[in-house]
Amino acid sequence: PAYTGIERDELISASRQIRDYFNNDDEFITISVVQGGILVPSLYNSREVLHMKDVKGLVKGVYWTQWLTGAYMATFSVIGLVSARRRFLARLGRHVGLGGTATIGLVLVVGLASLIGFERLFLAFHLVSFSNDLWQLDPRRDYLIAMFPEGFFFDATIWTAGSTVAEAAVLALVGLVLPRWLPRKGQRAA
């Protein structure tokens, strides 16, 4: 609030509007806040708006990737269970465990890279993810970067990495525990 001149409640409202934008069909974002007692109907300039359109494209790509991989895993599981029944559970457990373990390894590498040189990783991400320079914003005149400085993205990266490792650890444990719960060849299920 001290830096932007926008009250905390209005900044929270702006954040909510951004989240809503990522989940609606609007092509361009419009952030409306009250600043100094005056309604500002469009807080972000055209450069920021166009960058947010690019970011929304990335977010939608992540949503689609998540949906497709989930559909693949569900289809794989259903086909395996229908065709091999209980025998498939041990195989499914191994695949889930390997997936969890691989995810932990990948996230730990990215997490360590973030801790060692987040600025370089952040720059590389932007260079790979965007085909323009709209992401190069100036906090002295661009509210988007003033509201969400690099430290915000560092914290978000570490939180996401930690959450992902926790979820992947659960999957890795499934791979260890499930085969022990299943009857071995020649044994009958209770």
Helix (H, G, I), strand (E, B) or coil at 40: strand
> By mean pLDDT, which of 8-12, 34-38, 89-93, 128-132 is the weakest?
89-93
Average pLDDT over all residues of the chain: 91
pLDDT greater than 70 at residue 186: no
- The pair of structure tokens assigned to 137 is 């914003």
Q: What is the pTM of this model?
A: 0.82
pLDDT score recorded for residue 58: 96
Asked if pLDDT for residue 13 goes beyond 90, the answer is yes
Segment 163-176 shows an average pLDDT of: 90
190 is written with which tokens? 């209770």
126: left (phi over 0), alpha (psi -120 to 50) or beta: alpha
Q: Which tokens belong to 11?
A: 């900044």
Give the ranges where the chain is alpha helix by DSSP (H).
Answer: 8-22, 46-84, 87-129, 143-147, 150-181
Q: What is the DSSP letter of 8?
A: H
**Residue 167 pLDDT more than 60?**
yes
The answer on pLDDT for 187 being more than 60 is no
The model's confidence at residue 183, banded by pLDDT at 50, 70 and 90, is low
Which range, 48-52, 82-86, 185-189, has the best average confidence (pLDDT)? 48-52
How big is the chain, counted in residues?
A: 190
The model's confidence at residue 176, banded by pLDDT at 50, 70 and 90, is confident
Listed ranges 89-98, 100-109, 180-189; the one with the highest mean pLDDT: 100-109
Q: Select from 139, 162, 158 the least CA-distant residue to 149.
A: 139
Q: Does the structure show a pLDDT above 70 at 88?
A: yes
Decide if 43 contacts 49 (C-beta within 8 A): no
